[in-house]
Amino acid sequence: MRSRHHALITVACAASMLTACGTGPVPTTLPTPAPAPATVSVPAPTRIAIAHAIIPRPASVMLVEGSIFVVDTTTMVVVAPGAGAEVERIATYVLTLLGRPPATAPRRLVAADTIPARSIYLRLSDESTLGDEGYRLDVTPSLVTITARRPAGLFYAVQTMRQLLPVSIEHPAARNRALRIPAGVVIDAPRYAWRGSMFDVARHFLPLDDLRRHVDRMALYKLNRLHLHLSDDQGWRVEIKSWPALTQVGGSTQVGGGAGGWYTQEQFAELARYAAERYVTIVPEIDMPGHTNAALASYAGLNCGGVTPPLYTGTRVGFSTLCVASDSTYRFVDDVVRELAALTPSPWFHIGGDEVEKLTHDEYRAFIERVQGIVRSHGRRMIGWGEIAPATLDSGTIVQHWKTDSSAVHAARGGKVILSPNKRAYLDMKYDSSTILGLRWAGLIDVRDAYDWNPAEQIPGVEERSVMGVEAPLWAETLVKAEDWEFMAFPRLLAIAEVGWSTPERDFEAFRQRLAAHGPRLAALGVNFFRSSQVPWW
């Protein structure tokens, strides 16, 4: 919010599959839209104002100094006829972003040869080579053209455009907003398909509105998977209609003994829809066979002894397990997977599988394999924490690495791995020794620790081709209110977003400068972020 000199810094151009930037002509993998009223003239090499810092760093950014596109009340958002409902919805999203009620704001459907000047034009093109999430953003003083092969790419281009707009874009009712976009070209596509944030809503319950708000913030930083840890010893957080006590009993408390809470199926499905419109997939996790005390306390039949244990509000791990010898356990798993799979378009189902201390290795492996079959029978790919890797897994099953494990075994059989190394990506670790919230068993993780690593060099035997992507888990033993989750997630989640999206070059100095420029934006969004001393915040 403070005025500053907008220092110009050089942004490293990424050596990507797209093009070398600053060393040649503008990439032309995409045709320039037919009626572009002005030719984009890009000087090379280029420099970018830090005010226009983009996170995650795009593959290629070339901005024209001193040349801008001005958004005003006459600016139209334009789509071609027949562009489809999804592109239409993104156009509406752009109007909302610009602070205009969609009902009254100018928006036009136009034929491709009649694009009016001073428009923001969204177009899909099969000619694009930028993949399902890539995009090209062309800004001239008279036209913004966004091209992508799929709607997700258009959406991400809009997020880049949003970051190129001043912070006042986040305050739609502010007066005298000078909405200017620097002219130039951004060409971009993600490194990994999986760029995830995990929230533990089991140890403490988090209301739906707060999850919705988190989805919005994820979208700004091009994160696309919200993994919800929906059950644990201390709580069961989503309604299962065929097993109602799971929430009525198991959802009634949380760490420390508060009232807990849960999502109805309708709420959960609504969240999944909301997220999908922002290109975020809600990935449900029901942790099993351990971390199940809330379920065991709800149904005697899930316990081998047939006796329900009391509800648990402490923070120990490893003491609970479903009765893996009982057929009713697998009927339970089948019901849970079936009901939850129907609520989200997620092709994945996360079965947890971590920290089981009450079973033999053989019992554990047999359980995981049988559950894998159940998940497969519902048309979903199974995900499990690293402990599942030694079991006989389908190559389509995904292993989520969090500590030393056998994920290389899974990579060797052609399987994919999600990287969540606890010393880099565990957002429940304290930033430094003075952080009140969080834990420290995996060490202190300040911004640089979260940023300075390469997912393809983390585990011997798990190389680029085996890496599905990255995810930052946030466990909630010490978190009570949404602002606590925010404090631990931000700004480290932006570092993880860049690790997942951008090419592997890590220039922390450049990153911290860009991150500093995002401080006012995070504040404008109301994010209660940690002002790390590693970052020269504006």
Q: Tell me how far, at minimum, the Cβ of 253 lies from a second copy, in Å.
A: 9
Q: Contacting a second copy (CB under 8 A), which of 126, 434, 460, 509?
A: 434
Give all strands of the β-sheet with 143-148 in edge-to-edge order. 60-70, 180-188, 135-140, 143-148, 119-124, 76-79, 107-109
Which of these ranges, 23-31, 179-187, 348-356, 528-536, lies near a second copy under the rule CB under 8 A?
528-536
76-115 mask for a second copy (x: CB under 8 A)?
-----------------------x-x-xx-----------
Which of these ranges, 42-50, 269-277, 372-380, 526-534, lies near a second copy under the rule CB under 8 A?
526-534
Closer by beta carbon to a second copy, 401 or else 518: 518
- Residue keyed to tokens 């585990």: 459
State the sign of the Cα–Cα–Cα–Cα dihedral 192, 194, 199, 203: negative
Q: Does 72 bind a second copy (CB under 8 A)?
A: no
Three-state helix/strand/coil letters over 393-421: CCCCCEEEECCCCCHHHHHHCCCEEEECC
Q: Contacting a second copy (CB under 8 A), which of 15, 439, 442, 444?
A: 439
Q: Which residues, in sequence order, are CB contacts of 272 under 8 Å at separation 6+?
A: 282, 343, 344, 345, 346
Q: What angle do CA 314, 317, 323 make, to 5 degrees?
A: 110
Q: Contacting a second copy (CB under 8 A), which of 18, 59, 215, 255?
A: 255
Q: Does 478 bind a second copy (CB under 8 A)?
A: yes
Q: Could you tell me whether strands 143-148 and 119-124 are parallel, antiparallel, or unpaired per DSSP bridges?
A: parallel
Distance, in Å, from the CA atom of 197 to the CA atom of 407, rounded to the nearest integer, reads: 20
Percent helix / strand / coil, the chain, rounded to 5: 30, 20, 50
Distance, in Å, from the CA atom of 242 to the CA atom of 176, rounded to the nearest integer, reads: 55
Distances (CA, A) of 125 to 62, 85, 183, 462: 22, 16, 22, 34
Q: Does 402 bind a second copy (CB under 8 A)?
A: no
Closer by beta carbon to a second copy, 12 or else 439: 439
Cβ–Cβ under 8 Å, residues 362 and 380 = no
Helix orientation angle between 492-501 and 482-489, rounded to the nearest 10 degrees: 50
Nearest to 491 by CA among 530, 452, 524: 530
Burial class (CB in 10 A: 0-12, 13-18, 19+), 340: buried
Q: Tell me how far, at minimum, the Cβ of 273 lies from a second copy, in Å.
A: 18
Q: Does 443 bind a second copy (CB under 8 A)?
A: no
Closer by beta carbon to a second copy, 57 or else 203: 203
Cβ–Cβ under 8 Å, residues 306 and 327 = no
Q: Does 257 bind a second copy (CB under 8 A)?
A: yes
Structure tokens at 397: 């099953």
Q: Could you tell me whether strands 48-49 and 8-9 are parallel, antiparallel, or unpaired per DSSP bridges?
A: antiparallel
Q: Contacting a second copy (CB under 8 A), which of 53, 479, 493, 517?
A: 479
- Residue keyed to tokens 């258009």: 154
Q: Does 457 bind a second copy (CB under 8 A)?
A: no
Name 180's bridge partners: 70
Length of the chain, in residues? 538
Q: Contacting a second copy (CB under 8 A), which of 318, 345, 526, 536?
A: 526
Q: What angle do CA 350, 355, 361 make, to 5 degrees?
A: 95
Q: Does 524 bind a second copy (CB under 8 A)?
A: yes
Q: What residues numbered 258-297 form the site for a second copy, per CB under 8 A?
A: 258
Closer by beta carbon to a second copy, 103 or else 111: 103
Q: Contacting a second copy (CB under 8 A), which of 70, 174, 300, 342?
A: 174
Q: Contacting a second copy (CB under 8 A), which of 107, 150, 177, 278?
A: 177
Q: Does 408 bind a second copy (CB under 8 A)?
A: no
Closer by beta carbon to a second copy, 3 or else 39: 3
DSSP string, 23-87: SSSPP-SSPPPTT-SS-----SS--EEGGG--SSPPSEEEEEEEEEEEP-TT-EEEE-TT--HHH
Q: Which residues, in sequence order, are CB contacts of 468 under 8 Å at separation 6+?
A: 192, 193, 194, 398, 416, 417, 418
Q: Does 205 bind a second copy (CB under 8 A)?
A: no
Which of these ranges, 222-230, 324-332, 409-417, 521-529, lies near a second copy under the rule CB under 8 A?
521-529
Q: Which one from 65, 270, 277, 355 is the annotated catalytic residue?
A: 355
Which of these ranges, 47-55, 173-181, 220-228, 233-241, lies near a second copy under the rule CB under 8 A?
173-181
Q: Is 355 a catalytic residue?
A: yes
Q: Contacting a second copy (CB under 8 A), which of 314, 347, 481, 536?
A: 481
Distance, in Å, from the CA atom of 219 to the CA atom of 97, rounded to the nearest integer, reads: 13
Which of these ranges, 234-242, 251-259, 291-299, 328-336, lies near a second copy under the rule CB under 8 A?
251-259
Closer by beta carbon to a second copy, 514 or else 521: 521
Q: Does 204 bind a second copy (CB under 8 A)?
A: yes
Q: Tell me how far, at minimum, the Cβ of 525 lies from a second copy, in Å.
A: 7
Q: Tell me how far, at minimum, the Cβ of 263 lies from a second copy, in Å.
A: 17
Q: Tell me how far, at minimum, the Cβ of 218 lies from a second copy, in Å.
A: 17
Distance, in Å, from the CA atom of 446 to the CA atom of 198, rounded to the nearest integer, reads: 18
Closer by beta carbon to a second copy, 175 or else 465: 175
Closer by beta carbon to a second copy, 263 or else 453: 263
Q: From its phi and psi, is residue 463 left (phi > 0), alpha (psi between -120 and 50) or beta?
A: beta
Q: Does 530 bind a second copy (CB under 8 A)?
A: yes
Q: Contacting a second copy (CB under 8 A), which of 34, 66, 436, 460?
A: 436
| Contact set with a second copy (CB under 8 A) | 1-3, 99, 101, 103-104, 167-168, 171-175, 177, 204, 255-258, 431-437, 439, 477-484, 486-487, 523-526, 528, 530, 533
Cite the active site residues.
355
